[in-house]
Structure 1
């Protein structure tokens, strides 16, 4: 059912808290690039529990879901059932988000200015430009000098920057990298000022 869905709901027991089975299911949802809403059921039995503290505890246990909305409800009493539906609808909308190419490239340019792209063997990753290539999930393609230089950590960093700027709550972002060839000058969707890789100074941090 997760494979066929656009948005998956991870249902947690408010009293028991997230367990190993929940972590495995959450990982499965992320591996398949599905939108995700975390629904904490039986909230009526968790008297005196602070929502923000519980939310933080969930994210400590499952940090890979830290960008997902958390909704507290009771299926028995009907508490906040509308909130769950709203969260699902909003997340579904985010998985279909359109990212303006110019703004997307500015976000990535700023990200490179803040943190150096990784390097290996004296060669540093150069990101020339980016375009959105799909939705459900949101897909972004980077055109770079060498895709093998894009590390998992830096990929995650760029995804966080994209998600934060476009407020993609609960929506996965799939980022891939392709080499820019010599015959690709003046690529469609490439905004002015992004033909050359961003140069970063030695004072910036490395990832």
Structure 2
């Protein structure tokens, strides 16, 4: 089963989204922030895929967390993200994208979880505000450029089918098998097109690559002087691997492993 965490600030429509996915009122969804206190797990099937949905209390800004029950809710949300394979980050189209939205997004990325973004209540916006929220998203959450973004109405079911298809794709990318020969071929083609910059006497030599993990995918690159590879070149390799293996919707980690002999 795909373990799916539905996360976001209070009152963005997480429980309504789950009710729409399930087609029934399984989760209380009052029009009050924070009516869902605990993480609730619900199993359901859609097409030929099986899911376990995790609905959580909305994350509040840590500074405002006073009551122990609220602290517990935040912890449950963070645990749900870590227990999931894919997180759906629900944003409210009718309010600005906040620092707290960015914090939740950052935690999902740090956890290495596959991600799909749902901008909810989209149907209530005029053209000007649609453009404005898209600019806000690209400015404040540009580090989520690996994730698919969907404009939805959880209440009306608009866009929810496409959202679920992206969840499937993100899950498959997170658990994909990356063969060593193909990874190495992509690596060598990338180096041929743009070699890493020289540092001192030596230029880093990237020899071969293999997969070191899943959810998120980890690519281990072997060679010499790899501690000298700059962050910009790591990002360049990430783009090449993503494109070659269609790794949409999942973070990708690249680890460098150097052998000791710089002349080898």
TM-score class normalised by the smaller sequence = 0.7 to 0.9
Distance 1:18 1:7 in 2: 21
For 1:3, what is the secondary structure of its paired residue?
A: helix
- The aligned residue for residue 225 of structure 2 is 146
> What is residue 82 of structure 2 aligned with on the other side?
3
CA-atom RMSD in angstroms: 2.3
Aligned to 2:237: 158
Q: Which residue of 1 aligns with 2:70?
A: none
What count of residue pairs does the alignment treat as equivalent?
183
Pairwise CA distance, 1:6: 1.4
Matched residue SS, 1:156: helix
Match of 2:161 among 66, 76, 82: 82
Spell out, residue by residue over 1:26-77, the C-alpha distance to the aligned partner (whole angstroms, 9 max, x if none).
1111112111101100011123369788556523322211111011111122
Partner secondary structure for residue 127 of structure 2: coil
SS in structure 1 opposite 2:82? coil
Question: Contact 1:14/1:43 (CA < 8 Å) preserved in 2?
Answer: yes
Unaligned runs of 5+ in 2: 1-79
Match of 1:126 in 2: 205
Q: CA deviation at 1:181?
A: 6.2
Q: Which runs of 5+ in 1 are unaligned?
A: 183-196, 198-207
Structure with greater Cα Rg: 2
Structure 1 range deviating more: 1-10 or 41-50: 41-50
Q: In structure 1, what is the equivalent of residue 257 of structure 2?
A: 178
CA distance in 1, matches of 2:120, 2:100: 16
Question: Does the 8 Å contact 1:55/1:70 carry over to 2?
Answer: no
TM-score normalised by L of structure 1 = 0.79
Q: Which has the higher contact order (CA 8 A, sep 6+)?
A: 1
- Give the SS at the match of 2:189: helix
C-alpha deviation, 1:136, in angstroms: 1.2
Q: 1:42 to 1:168 in 2, by over 3 A?
A: same
Moved more, 40-49 or 91-100: 40-49
Asked if 1 retains the 8 angstrom alpha-carbon contact of 2:183 and 2:210, the reply is: yes
Name the TM-score, length of structure 2 as normaliser. 0.63
Q: 1:73 aligns with which of 129, 152, 166?
A: 152
- Structure 2 residue aligned with 1:20, among 83, 99, 119? 99
